């Protein structure tokens, strides 16, 4: 179940891992099947965080605070995390860190004696992402399409999986995610899909600990209906800002984008059947109220959002999966475009499009292309 480098220098498509049963059983299955990849991810993040001056003991203490908060508000997901760790032979805090790495990267650790994450650190930990969803009214076959470029550290492509969760207590789930994570980009058998994009504001801290973004996304996919999926995002306690785009493929579909902070939620709806989002706040209420740290530190977000929409609009009413493949490969503004590739500038700021993900929830299909800046093609998954 490992993903090994190919002769072209990029990793193979992520392995498909299927788990079933109640939370404890499926968590143990996940850990047993993906244990090598989960350990790889934990080791990678330890090295990355220590290179940025964070002491590993403080990172683990922070992960345990998140574990405690998760046990308090979402004990079912806590059970699954502990079972994943047991199956992989790891500390639950290490598995929780994989789910909550954004919280540590953006908010630092709970130990106030530790050096806080600085602006220089955040620049080095450059986290992009460009997402787009199109309603059936604009697609060639009348079926909603939901897609994203996930931009982050290129090394992460070596420990991703496509996880299928067969559930006894709700819709089945398929998600592309770092091994050990509960969800990243994914969809469920009820037609709900979700992707997430990094946002950054002043004042992100551990004053009121939340639960990890990966777990919030899983909660959205485990919900029984679209309203409950939106509620899972809006009502979950959060430590940092994040953008989450949710869609429902019923009929011609619906799209609601939620720009979230630890205290507030701002919403965005599609224009002319299309919604795109990158890494800055776009809702008027948020722009009037929030100091958007992310847009200043990553100005390319302003055109990535627009370029994705422009390239989708070109297809008129005939947008299809191939349209998205082309749009997600747009190189305008290179190397910081919709498609980005690693640029070693002598600093630690190395970010790339780890994967392009395209979903048709109504058909329960997902296409994933890892490291799309290299030769290769999309792998198809279904559930």
Taking the C-alpha atoms of residue 367 and residue 65, their distance in angstroms, rounded to an integer, is 36
Q: Are residues 269 and 187 in the same domain?
A: yes
Residue 9 lies in a domain: no
CATH number of domain containing 222? 3.60.60.10
Give the torsion sign (CA, 172, 177, 178, 181). negative
> Look-up: residue for tokens 């604009």?
138
The reported pTM is 0.94
Residue 285 lies in a domain: yes
Residue 225 lies in a domain: yes
Tally the C-alpha atoms within 13 A of residue 229's C-alpha that lie toward its C-beta.
Answer: 30
Element (DSSP H or E) covering residue 57: helix 56-73
Q: Are residues 364 and 307 in the same domain?
A: yes
Q: Are residues 85 and 161 in the same domain?
A: no
Q: Are residues 149 and 96 in the same domain?
A: no
**Tens digit of each residue's pLDDT (9 = 90 or more) over 115-129:** 455 555 555 455 679
Q: Are residues 115 and 150 in the same domain?
A: no
Within 10 A of 115 (CB to CB), how many other CB atoms are there?
A: 14
pLDDT at 316: 97
Residue 30: give the domain boundaries.
16-122
pLDDT in tens, the chain (383 residues): 333 334 356 679 999 999 999 999 999 999 999 999 999 999 999 999 998 888 999 999 999 999 999 999 999 999 999 999 999 999 999 999 999 999 988 877 876 444 455 555 555 455 679 999 999 999 999 999 999 999 999 999 999 999 999 999 999 999 999 999 999 999 999 999 999 999 999 878 777 789 999 999 999 999 999 999 999 999 999 999 999 999 999 999 999 999 999 999 999 999 999 999 999 999 999 999 999 988 887 899 999 999 999 999 999 999 999 999 999 999 999 989 999 999 765 445 578 999 999 999 999 999 999 999 999 999 999 99
Q: What share of the chain is helix, strand, coil (3-state, %, to 5)?
A: 40, 25, 40
CATH number of domain containing 57? 1.10.10.2120
Which tokens sit at 119? 């602006």
Contact by Cβ (8 Å): 81, 71: no
Contact by Cβ (8 Å): 273, 134: yes
φ/ψ of residue 78, rounded to 5: -65, -40
Question: Domain count of the chain?
Answer: 2
Within 10 A of 182 (CB to CB), how many other CB atoms are there?
A: 29
Contacts of 68 (CB under 8 A, 6+ apart): 209
Q: Are residues 279 and 347 in the same domain?
A: yes
φ/ψ of residue 152, rounded to 5: -165, -160
Residue 52 lies in a domain: yes
Residue 333 lies in a domain: yes
Domain boundary among 122, 140, 166: 122
Q: Are residues 50 and 193 in the same domain?
A: no
Taking the C-alpha atoms of residue 112 and residue 259, their distance in angstroms, rounded to an integer, is 28
pLDDT at 7: 34
Domain boundary among 66, 88, 122: 122
Q: Are residues 133 and 114 in the same domain?
A: no
Domain boundary among 122, 151, 174: 122
**Tens digit of each residue's pLDDT (9 = 90 or more) over 60-105:** 999 999 999 999 999 999 999 999 999 999 999 999 999 999 998 8
Q: Are residues 49 and 152 in the same domain?
A: no
Taking the C-alpha atoms of residue 104 and residue 120, their distance in angstroms, rounded to an integer, is 15
pLDDT at 10: 67
Taking the C-alpha atoms of residue 28 and residue 40, their distance in angstroms, rounded to an integer, is 18
Q: Are residues 77 and 133 in the same domain?
A: no
Residue 4 lies in a domain: no
Residue 11 lies in a domain: no
Q: Are residues 196 and 344 in the same domain?
A: yes
Residue 160 lies in a domain: yes
Taking the C-alpha atoms of residue 152 and residue 357, their distance in angstroms, rounded to an integer, is 14
Q: Are residues 238 and 299 in the same domain?
A: yes
């Amino acid at each position: 179940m490992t993903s090994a480098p190919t002769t072209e220098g990029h990793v193979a498509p992520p392995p498909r891992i299927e788990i079933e049963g109640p939370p404890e059983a499926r968590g143990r299955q996940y850990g047993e099947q993906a244990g090598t990849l989960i350990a790889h991810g934990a080791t990678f993040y330890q090295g990355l965080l220590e290179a940025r001056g964070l002491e590993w003991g403080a990172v683990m203490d922070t992960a345990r605070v998140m574990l405690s908060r998760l046990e308090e508000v979402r004990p079912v997901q806590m059970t699954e995390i502990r079972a994943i760790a047991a199956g992989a032979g790891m500390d639950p805090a290490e598995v929780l860190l994989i789910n909550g790495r954004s919280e540590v990267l953006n908010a630092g650790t709970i130990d106030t004696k530790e050096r806080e994450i600085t602006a220089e650190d955040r620049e080095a930990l450059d986290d992009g992402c460009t997402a787009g969803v199109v309603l059936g009214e604009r697609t060639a076959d009348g079926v909603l399409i939901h897609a994203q470029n996930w931009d982050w550290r290129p090394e992460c492509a070596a420990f991703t999986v496509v996880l299928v969760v067969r559930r006894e207590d709700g819709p089945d789930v398929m998600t592309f995610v770092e091994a050990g994570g509960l969800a990243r980009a994914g969809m469920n058998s009820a037609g709900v899909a979700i992707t997430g994009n990094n946002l950054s504001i002043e004042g992100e801290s551990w004053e009121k600990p939340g639960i990890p973004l990966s777990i919030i996304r899983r909660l959205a996919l485990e919900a029984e209906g679209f309203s409950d999926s939106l509620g899972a995002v809006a009502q979950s306690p959060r430590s940092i800002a994040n953008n989450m785009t949710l869609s429902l493929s019923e009929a011609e579909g619906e799209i609601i984008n939620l720009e979230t902070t630890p205290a507030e939620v701002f919403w965005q709806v599609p224009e002319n059947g299309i919604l795109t989002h990158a890494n800055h706040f776009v809702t008027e209420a948020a722009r009037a109220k929030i100091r958007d740290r992310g847009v200043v530190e990553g100005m390319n977000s302003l055109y990535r959002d627009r370029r994705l929409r422009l390239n989708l609009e070109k297809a008129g009413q005939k947008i299809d999966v191939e349209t998205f493949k082309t749009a997600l490969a747009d190189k305008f503004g290179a190397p910081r475009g919709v498609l980005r590739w690693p640029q070693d500038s002598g600093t630690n700021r190395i970010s790339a499009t780890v994967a392009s993900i395209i979903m048709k929830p109504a058909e329960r299909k997902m296409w994933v292309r890892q490291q799309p800046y290299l030769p290769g093609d999309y792998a198809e998954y279904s559930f």
